[in-house]
Amino acid sequence: MTNYLNVTNGTMPKTFSPPPGQDWSVLSRTCPSRTSLARIANKWTAMVITVLADGPQRFGDLRTALDGISGKVLTETLRDLERDGMLIRTAYAEIPPRVEYELTPLGRTLIEPLAVLVRWAEQHIPEVLAARDAYDDR
Amino acid sequence: MTNYLNVTNGTMPKTFSPPPGQDWSVLSRTCPSRTSLARIANKWTAMVITVLADGPQRFGDLRTALDGISGKVLTETLRDLERDGMLIRTAYAEIPPRVEYELTPLGRTLIEPLAVLVRWAEQHIPEVLAARDAYDDR
DNA sequence: GGTAATTGGTCACTAATCGTAAGTATTGGA
DNA sequence: TCCAATACTTACGATTAGTGACCAATTACC
């Protein structure tokens, strides 16, 4: 198996460039990729991006589609994704306000990887539930 | 684009079986798959599973490999993954104690999906950092 | 004219989760 | 005797998630 993670690399320079001959690794505490991993490996991120895969959506649409998310958390999630270049926020100067969110090309590269996780969660419910019951019974 | 998420499905019965003719959806607040998604779409889960992809590892090995994780958080992450059937914990009755963690077949099905996320984070550092700088500058 | 509805938020607050630093148990070895 | 080693616990503080109230500005309705 390919060693994507450079498991043997324990140190990291203070400046933000990879060590010579090595790539960044999320396993290094100070690597910027760890922040990115934390952002994309996140349930709300996965849900937002998968919903936005169908095209631009308004704030209220997202809030309805994501059944149970609070306005505050949705706002924060969207702002973080916008900041990291994964979506664009477009506010129209209308009353009542209208704001649309749309994936960028960078954001679209996450659709399929995150859809895989979503499908995994949906398809392995019986196995996970069974394992959980077995664990709790002992 | 395939509608993996049954976006139109807003309701969910109290009993835990899918509505007739429909599959579970992580978008439904009460769907068990949402709990699973929260577990697997998680930075520590992604890192633990990707490290365990190389074979069984001891607690201390994982802690070293995951540079920066605390013992408590590693313990909790491992216990949750064990409970959901993704890894097996084997404790040897020795002094000092030795405990090994190994992926189950179910856990191994997550290696590749999570490795994709890890690679995404590592490969898109420049784009993300640039987007972040641009956002913060306006 | 007065009042409610609409939309995309913000604010203050509480609850839950994450993370840190220290401690525990056991035994072999200096 | 005291320390090292290992895999946790526990107590605590910090960060994050979630809730409910409120807001601005216009249109629709009575």
Indicate the CATH number of A43-136 among 1.10.1030.10, 1.10.10.10, 1.10.1060.10, 1.10.260.30.
Answer: 1.10.10.10
How confident is the model over A45-84, as pLDDT tens digits?
Answer: 999 999 999 999 999 999 999 988 999 999 999 999 999 9
CA-closest candidate to residue A58, choices A99, A105, A91: A99
Any residues with CB less than 8 A from the CB of B48 and at least 6 apart, and which? B62, B66, B74, B77, B78, B81
Worst-scoring range by mean pLDDT, A7-16, A89-98, B16-25?
A7-16
Which nucleotides along chain C are within 7 A of a protein C-beta?
6-12, 18-23, 25-28
* Domains of chain B, residue spans: 1-41, 42-136
User: Is B72 at the interface with chain A, CB within 8 A?
Assistant: no
Question: C1' nearest to CA of A43: which nucleotide?
Answer: D17
Contact B6/B26 with Cβ under 8 angstroms?
A: no
**Cβ neighbour number for residue B1 with a 10 Å cutoff:** 9
How confident is the model over A18-51, as pLDDT tens digits?
Answer: 655 556 788 888 889 999 999 999 999 999 999 9
Domain boundaries B42-136, corresponding CATH code = 1.10.10.10
d(CA B19, CA B23): 7
Helix B111-123 and helix A111-123, axial crossing angle in degrees, nearest 10: 160
User: Is A81 at the interface with chain B, CB within 8 A?
Assistant: no
How confident is the model over B38-95, as pLDDT tens digits?
Answer: 999 999 999 999 999 999 999 999 999 998 899 999 999 999 999 999 999 999 998 8
